[in-house]
Each structure stands twice: as structure tokens, then as C-alpha cells.
């Protein structure tokens, strides 16, 4: 990586010319067809870009695809979503994980409708003022939907850039430098920040918006390059449009990038979940609106603590007029949240037909569980507790690195 040092400041040397051109030529031939992406010549719909970017936070393209189609069919524009109920959105979101995103989705649609007349603002600054839109998502929407000259650095772009420039500094410390290096791939702007070109002529384009630079396409080209060619293992460098001047390729240590400081695993927490049957009904409750899995449906559970044992957890079982006989199911249900892994023992009980529900809980027919906003953890718990449960399908939801962490 060539650097120039001046006044004790490290300055990035200008990027070799031609990278943006090579990237765009590659993108025009190889771009992925994605349900939220406009085809060449089609108008870009900021609503689709926003919806996909929120769904893609911490989630793979493969997992998001079916959810995106379902949401778009049900709420085709931001106005429809802004008028929807939060419960409906949470139900539709069930299985996609990181549920604060669903609440922010609704809050953002309401804000766009109320404060912006149903049109998404087109600057990073205004986008960041909306619920659930952090720096990455604002940059992605600004670049892709509005062609703003900004570079949203996701996990794919991070990998390409750290290899291209052989960034030895480990993540997360290297993030700022990666951002600076990634921005050099946008190439020179044809319009200055004052909206004038280099001859001083007014381009009649709002500052920072340069339709000729194809900033959004360059960002998407890098995303696609990272997904298809510059993969974590065995990158297909021979097919890469940037292979002529890739520093890691020249060194032969591509797979060692990006460098990372190893993460400490969160401490294991334990608890118990209680699956209570009354005929064909199951006892559930709604979690508090704020916090982990906020507003989602769950069977009653104990607290989740590192030091919890079975006896302490069982003492937190729901109370009925006549105490049921609790049976502990063999094995445990495990789940990994962002900050900690969880292990739940599952207790089951059957109560008589007239048993009233405890305060704050409700009976739901097993056949209607699929309509509840059940997170994956609870789907696993109920399936385990009922022995078999064909009504609940557990959606795969693998994590994807980078992007704004869900609020």
C-alpha cells in the first residue's frame, strides 16, 4: 500500500486510475439479479432499497429474499407500511430475527409518511435522522437509491478493500481507514460539493449528487465482487477486474484478510421455558415492547442468568389454581444471541379444560401458532416441548457480518 507522509499525518495515495471503470464494466456484465435491485434502465425505488437494507442487517441475502417478497406483496409502498399495524409487521417478520428491526421499520415508515410526505429524504444526514437507519444504512440508501457520492462499507466491501490495499491493521480498529480507502474507489467526482464542475460552471445538480459517477453502482459492484469472486475462502482472483493491482494477491496471502482481533464469546446463560397445554391450546404471553425480542410472543420462561440452576428456574413456572405436574423434557434448547449463548431447559405440563390463564398470558390454539410473532428461539422451544409440531416451520436465519447493528 503506497502512502505519503506529510506533517505527521498518514495520507492515502491516490488510487490507481481505472479501478472504477474496470469495476463498472465488470458490474454491467455480472451484476446479481436481486428482487430489490432495479434492472438497467428501470427507475430505482428508494422504498425497496430501504426495506432490503433493513432486512439485510445481520442477515444473508438468501434468508432475506422470501421475506422481502412477502413484505412487498403485502405493503407495496411506504404509505401502505406506514398505515399498517406494528403487530402485523412483527407477525410477518417472525423468523427473520433481530426483532428491533421490525419495530424500527414500522416507526421509520410512519416518520417518512408524517414528516416527509411519503418520500424518503435523499441525503445521508436526513436518512440518519430516521428510526433504524444508522451510518451504514444511510450511506447505502443514499448511494444506491439516490446516487450520492458515498461508500457504504459492508462485510463484502470490507474484505475486497482490505485485500486490495493489504490492510494489515486488524478490525475493528481499521474501520476508519477501510472507509477512506473504499471511498477512493469511487473515482474523481465530476461535480464539486458546491454543485459546480471544475470549470466553475453550475451543474444544476445538488451538492454531492453526481449522476455521471455511478456511485451507487460502484458500491454494488464491490458488494457483488465480494459475494461472488473475492470470497472469504479461495477467492477467484483470476476472474477479478482488480487483480492487476491487488496488494494481497501480489503477496499471495489474500485469505488472511481482513485481519481481526478475536472476539470474546459472551457468557452462557441458562433458564427454563414452560410449555403448558390445555387441550389443543398452548399458553403464551407477549414480551415487553423494549429490549431483547421486544413485543414478540413467547411461552413463559424464567429469567436467563449465567448462574441459574434448574431448581431456581422451576420456581418461576407460571402459577395456576391447582399446581400442574411439571415434566422436564430430555435435552435443552440452545440459541446464540449476538452477545451471549442461551440454554433453556423445557418443562411441560397439561392442565384441565377449564383452567384459567395466569395474568398477562393467553391461550392460543396450536394450529394458530403460525400466526403469532414467534422468534426462532420460541419455535424451537415449542417444537421441543410438544414433541412434534408440524404447524411451525423454523426459518433458517444465518448471520451476516457487518452493517449497522440492530438498535
What residues line the site for ligand SF4 (CB under 6 A)?
Answer: 160, 163-164, 229-230, 235, 237, 240, 242-243, 246, 248-249, 254
CB of 143 to ligand SF4, least distance (A): 20
Known catalytic residues?
53
How is residue 187 written as a grid cell?
473515482
CB of 1 to ligand SF4, least distance (A): 13
Count of beta carbons in the 10 Å neighbourhood of residue 391: 15
User: For residue 8, what are the contacts with CB-CB under 8 A and spacing of at least 6?
Assistant: none
Angstrom distances, CA of residue 311 to CA of 267, 314, 330, 344, 347: 20, 5, 16, 13, 12
Cα first-last separation, the chain = 35
Contact predicate 116/110, CB 8 Å: no
Residue 29 gets which letter from DSSP? H
Residue among 49 and 160 whose Cβ is closer to ligand SF4: 160
Cα distance between residue 389 and residue 407, in whole Å: 32
Residue among 27 and 47 whose Cβ is closer to ligand SF4: 27
CB of 34 to ligand SF4, least distance (A): 21
Residue among 87 and 255 whose Cβ is closer to ligand SF4: 255
Angstrom distances, CA of residue 85 to CA of 74, 80, 144, 353: 12, 10, 28, 33
Cα distance between residue 317 and residue 173, in whole Å: 45
Residue among 143 and 240 whose Cβ is closer to ligand SF4: 240
CB of 176 to ligand SF4, least distance (A): 20
DSSP 44-81: P-HHHHHHHHHHHTTB-HHHHHHHHHHHHHH--SHHHH
Residue among 163 and 269 whose Cβ is closer to ligand SF4: 163
Residue among 249 and 270 whose Cβ is closer to ligand SF4: 249
SS3 375: coil
Q: Give the length of the chain.
A: 407
Q: Is the dihedral of CA 105, 108, 113, 118 positive or negative?
A: negative
Pair type for strands 269-278 and 341-350:
parallel
Beta bridge partners of 283: 363
Residue among 195 and 232 whose Cβ is closer to ligand SF4: 232
SS3 367: helix
CB of 254 to ligand SF4, least distance (A): 4
Count of beta carbons in the 10 Å neighbourhood of residue 93: 23
CB of 47 to ligand SF4, least distance (A): 32
CB of 163 to ligand SF4, least distance (A): 4
Residue among 229 and 293 whose Cβ is closer to ligand SF4: 229
Pair type for strands 341-350 and 333-336:
antiparallel
CB of 180 to ligand SF4, least distance (A): 17
SS3 270: strand
Amino acid at each position: 500500500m503506497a502512502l505519503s507522509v506529510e506533517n505527521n499525518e498518514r495520507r492515502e495515495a491516490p488510487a490507481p486510475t481505472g479501478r472504477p471503470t474496470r469495476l463498472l464494466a465488470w458490474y454491467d456484465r455480472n451484476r446479481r439479479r436481486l428482487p430489490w435491485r432495479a434492472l438497467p434502465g428501470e427507475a430505482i425505488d428508494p422504498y425497496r432499497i430501504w426495506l432490503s437494507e433493513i432486512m439485510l442487517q445481520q442477515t444473508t441475502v438468501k434468508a432475506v429474499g422470501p421475506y422481502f417478497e412477502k413484505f412487498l406483496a403485502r405493503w407495496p409502498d411506504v404509505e401502505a407500511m406506514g398505515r399498517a399495524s406494528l403487530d402485523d409487521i412483527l407477525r410477518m417478520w417472525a423468523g427473520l430475527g433481530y426483532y428491533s428491526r421490525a419495530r424500527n421499520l414500522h416507526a421509520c415508515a410512519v416518520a417518512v409518511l408524517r414528516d416527509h410526505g411519503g418520500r424518503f429524504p435523499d441525503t445521508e444526514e436526513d436518512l440518519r435522522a430516521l428510526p433504524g437507519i444508522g451510518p451504514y444504512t444511510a450511506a447505502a440508501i443514499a448511494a444506491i437509491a439516490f446516487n450520492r457520492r458515498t461508500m457504504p462499507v459492508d462485510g463484502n466491501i470490507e474484505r475486497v478493500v482490505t485485500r486490495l490495499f493489504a490492510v494489515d491493521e486488524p478490525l475493528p480498529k481499521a474501520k476508519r481507514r477501510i472507509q477512506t480507502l473504499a471511498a477512493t474507489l469511487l473515482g474523481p467526482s465530476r461535480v464539486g460539493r458546491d454543485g459546480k464542475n471544475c470549470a466553475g460552471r453550475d451543474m444544476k445538480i445538488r451538492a454531492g449528487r453526481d449522476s455521471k459517477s455511478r456511485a451507487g453502482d460502484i458500491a454494488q459492484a464491490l458488494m457483488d465482487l465480494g459475494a461472488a469472486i473475492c470470497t472469504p475462502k479461495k477467492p477467484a482472483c483470476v476472474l477479478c477486474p482488480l487483480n492487476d493491482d491487488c496488494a494481497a494477491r501480489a503477496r499471495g496471502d489474500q485469505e488472511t484478510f481482513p485481519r481481526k482481533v478475536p472476539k470474546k464469546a459472551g457468557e452462557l446463560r441458562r433458564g427454563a421455558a414452560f410449555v403448558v397445554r390445555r387441550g389443543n391450546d398452548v399458553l403464551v404471553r407477549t414480551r415487553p415492547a423494549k429490549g431483547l425480542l421486544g413485543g414478540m410472543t413467547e411461552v413463559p420462561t424464567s429469567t436467563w442468568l449465567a448462574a441459574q440452576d434448574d431448581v431456581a428456574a422451576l420456581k418461576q413456572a407460571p402459577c395456576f389454581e391447582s399446581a400442574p405436574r411439571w415434566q422436564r423434557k430430555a435435552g435443552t434448547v440452545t440459541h446464540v444471541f449476538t452477545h451471549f449463548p442461551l440454554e433453556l431447559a423445557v418443562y411441560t405440563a397439561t392442565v384441565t379444560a377449564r383452567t384459567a390463564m395466569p395474568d398477562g398470558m393467553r391461550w392460543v390454539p396450536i394450529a394458530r401458532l403460525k400466526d403469532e410473532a414467534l422468534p426462532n428461539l420460541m419455535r424451537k422451544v415449542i417444537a421441543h416441548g410438544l414433541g412434534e409440531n408440524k404447524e411451525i416451520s423454523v426459518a433458517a436465519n444465518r448471520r451476516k457480518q457487518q452493517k449497522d447493528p440492530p438498535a
